Amino acid sequence: MQRPTLAAIKGIATWLPETKLTNSDLEKMVDTNDQWIKERTGIEERRILKGKNLGSSYLGVQAFNALKEKVGLEPMEVDVLICTTVVPDYKFPPTACLIAEECGIKNAFCYDMNATCTGFLYALDIANSYVLSGKYKKVVIVSAEKLSSMTNYNDRASCILFGDGASAVLVEASDNGFGIKDTLMRSETSGAMDILFKGGGSVYPATVENVEKNWHYFTQDGRAVFKQAVLGMEGVARDIMERNNVTKDDLKFVMPHQANKRIIDTIAKRLGVEDKVVTIIQKIGNLSSVTVPLCITEKEDELQKGDKLVLCAFGSGYTMGAVYMDWAI
């Protein structure tokens, strides 16, 4: 078995539903206002998936099909399909299996990975290792998040944050010397309960009482999370740059998870990369594991082979990670 020396992102596509939920829409639903939302989060609108009985797999299928068209990917050639999501269609079967069935991906093994908002980067680390092992050639990461399904639209503190969307990313061996140069994944578990979806698991199974307590919705200690998100993302981004002797001048873009514009601005300032940081939260809100791939597609037209990128993310757990790579397409 021949082992490649480098893996790379060789294709990427994203898909967002058409329906927009704007700040002025939210003003009619809860006691909030456009100015507060913009000042505290940077968010102006998010996309919401409408339609009966459509879950995250629906979003993932659209993203995979867009990737297929874009790069001419044959579904039967996919060796591994990893779906990153915090809102799977069901507890089981894995949402990845539902996406594979719908998309005709018949020769892959498929599973879900929940590493919350860092899910895409953990999956990219795994995909990189699979490809470098020589055992698998084409690994696809579908990140699919119907976050509106876990959002309490009576809670003004959280319902302003989330949207729905998906991405699909193909990781393969690099044939041109450009690719994933380093990955750095961490967990800081002392704050594990700070972002919580309490009900429906094995501790508090879905019961009428638990649903009446709103335990089937997202909750967080926003201020505690804010501080840890800044420390966590700044830490992994700084460490991966230092250990690869990369300076801010070497980078084309820094692409962080989009949870709050103030978090993004703070880490950009601390790292001195204000002119390199990608901010798209105003248009999409927080899309959990989809935000980093969306940053890539947002800037894809400006990217050239060899451009250096740092991707970083932070989420419930706490999970965090950074990837340093060259753009290889």
Site residues, ligand UT7 (CB under 6 A): 32, 36-37, 40-41, 117, 156-157, 160, 195, 222-223, 225-226, 229, 259-260, 263, 286, 315
Our CB check for ligand UT7 shows the closer of 118 and 174 to be 118
Q: How far is the CB of 193 from ligand UT7 (least distance, A)?
A: 14
Nearest residue by C-beta to ligand UT7?
Answer: 222
Residues 6+ apart with CB under 8 A from 28: none
Q: How far is the CB of 145 from ligand UT7 (least distance, A)?
A: 11
- Residue 117 annotated to the active site: yes
| Rounded CA separation 92/292 (Å) | 26
Q: Which of 83, 110, 286, 295 is catalytic?
A: 286
Q: Which of 97, 117, 295, 312 is catalytic?
A: 117
190: three-class secondary structure by DSSP = helix
Q: How far is the CB of 99 from ligand UT7 (least distance, A)?
A: 23
Q: What is the DSSP string of 259-294?
A: S-HHHHHHHHHHHT-TTTB---HHHH-B-GGGHHHH
- Residue 286 annotated to the active site: yes
Our CB check for ligand UT7 shows the closer of 2 and 35 to be 35
Our CB check for ligand UT7 shows the closer of 180 and 229 to be 229
Give the containing element (helix H, strand E) for 20.
strand 20-22
Our CB check for ligand UT7 shows the closer of 62 and 260 to be 260
The DSSP secondary-structure symbol of 232 reads: H
Q: Which of 103, 110, 159, 257 is catalytic?
A: 257
CB 166 within 8 A of CB 14: yes
Q: Which of 295, 306, 300 is nearest to 268 (CA)?
A: 295
Our CB check for ligand UT7 shows the closer of 128 and 266 to be 266
- Residue 244 annotated to the active site: no
| Rounded CA separation 257/253 (Å) | 13
Q: How far is the CB of 217 from ligand UT7 (least distance, A)?
A: 14
Q: How far is the CB of 192 from ligand UT7 (least distance, A)?
A: 13
Q: What is the dihedral of CA 211, 216, 218, 219, to 10 degrees?
A: 40
> What value does the CA radius of gyration of the chain take, rounded to a whole number of Å?
19
Q: List the catalytic residues.
A: 117, 257, 286
